[in-house]
Amino acid sequence: MKLAVAAAGVVVAVMLMLVQLGIRQGALDNSVAVARRVTADLVVVSPRTKTIFASAQFPRRLLYRLGSSEDVVEIGEMYMGQGRFRNPWNKLEFPVSIYGINPHSPMMNLPGIERFADKLELTDRVLYDGLSRTNYGPVVKYLKEHGTLDVEVNLRKIQLVDTIDVGISINADGNLFMSPANFQRMFPGRQSGSVDLGLIRIRDGVSAEAVRDQLSQYLGQEAKVLTRDQLIDSEILFIRENAPLDFIFGMGAAVGFFIGFVVVYQILYTEVTNHMPQYATLKAMGFSDRYLLRMVVSQAMILSLLGYFPGFVLALGLYRVATNAIQMEFSMTVERAIAVFVLTMIMCGLSAIIAIRKVRTADPADVF
């Protein structure tokens, strides 16, 4: 019975730690999902851009300079903005992320986009992200049945012609993909000739870092060149500095650890105290303190095993629940599973070591 309570404590601790760390990772991953989709080798941004979701623009003509490098094979452009999407069913407006990309060669991982390339060249024809949240209405269903849907975005009428599944993040409830020309029409107030992101493909065999350094010289202070990996790293850095994910979820995991520790300690301590005569007897018969310590620690280790697996399964379940509820991906990684397992062993081991101190005071002479 007491074993069950202690194991339950471990289960709760394991589950809390796994879930907290999992959501933290999921939030992090989702926030950089767009950056991860970039397949270009190099990326050009304004020096004032801290994150691509709130990017500063830079003049497009800067990109043309880069054509003179023989290592550059292709230059592309990406535009990003936020719009207000009016749900045609309930007439409410919701924010939506808007991407202006070359549908023939977006240099982004958008599987299937070539199919729509021709359609998107037409005026005000736009692609809708099938994984957008349901705030915008049953768009996917409607498009399946009727083919196209007229909607109002930023007070402008556009037509959704199809869907593509990309995925949302904390920053956006939904995504729209359109050609650069349509993007300009969408945002007439923007400075013409300015772009958010430059995308560069380099020729095979050259190192991205080398070309980056080379191109930086062409651009000087006016724009920054980053490798794709650098882009992802800087997005991650931005999130961690601006959203206290580490603190919040780290605290949550620490609380889980603490709960498990306290429950296990309580149970072990009570067990030891209740069995002092037996422990004293063992000491009288010649068992050393160290032997008894090993006994209690091995009980604690069994406890951590008993509690880990149910906690693990529960956490997997919770990941699924969160994924469905928030429509973002939360999943288990091997590193996290192992790390939490080690933490669980430490948690139980520490409890045992502290609880066992009571046994040291068992005086064998008192058994008589």
Q: Does 281 bind other proteins (CB under 8 A)?
A: yes
Tell me if 345 contacts other proteins by CB under 8 A.
Answer: no
According to the binding rule CB under 8 A, does residue 288 interact with other proteins? yes
Q: Does 364 bind other proteins (CB under 8 A)?
A: yes
Q: Judged by CB under 8 A, which of 65, 119, 275, 358 binds other proteins?
A: 275
Nearest residue (CB) to other proteins, 133 versus 275: 275
User: Considering only 69-77, 112-120, 199-207, 285-293, which stretch makes contact with other proteins by CB under 8 A?
Assistant: 285-293
Site for other proteins in 289-328 (CB under 8 A): 291
Closer CB to other proteins, 326 or 367, in the complex: 367
Which of 1, 155, 285, 334 is close enough to bind other proteins by CB under 8 A? 285
Does 205 contact other proteins by CB under 8 A?
Answer: no
Among 123, 242, 270, 278, binds other proteins (CB under 8 A): 278
Q: State the SS3 of the chain.
A: CHHHHHHHHHHHHHHHHHHHHHHHHHHHHHHCHHHHHECCCEEEECCCCCCHHHCCCEECHHHHHHHHCCCEEEEEEEEEEEEEEECCCCCCEEEEEEEEECCCCCCECCCCHHHHHHHHHCCCEEEEECCCCHHHCCHHHHHHHHCCEEEEECCEEEEEEEEECCCCECCECCEEEECHHHHHHHCCCCCCCEECEEEEEECCCCCHHHHHHHHHHHHCCCCEEEEHHHHHHHHHHHHHHHCCHHHHHHHHHHHHHHHHHHHHHHHHHHHHHHCHHHHHHHHHHCCCHHHHHHHHHHHHHHHHHHHHHHHHHHHHHHHHHHHHHHCCCCCCCHHHHHHHHHHHHHHHHHHHHHHHHHHHCCCHHHHC
**Among 55-63, 144-152, 222-230, 274-282, the segment contacting other proteins (CB under 8 A):** 274-282
Q: Does residue 1 belong to the site contacting other proteins (CB under 8 A)? A: no
Nearest distance in Å: CB 366, other proteins: 9
Residue numbers at the binding site for other proteins (CB under 8 A): 275, 277-278, 280-282, 284-288, 291, 364-365, 367-368
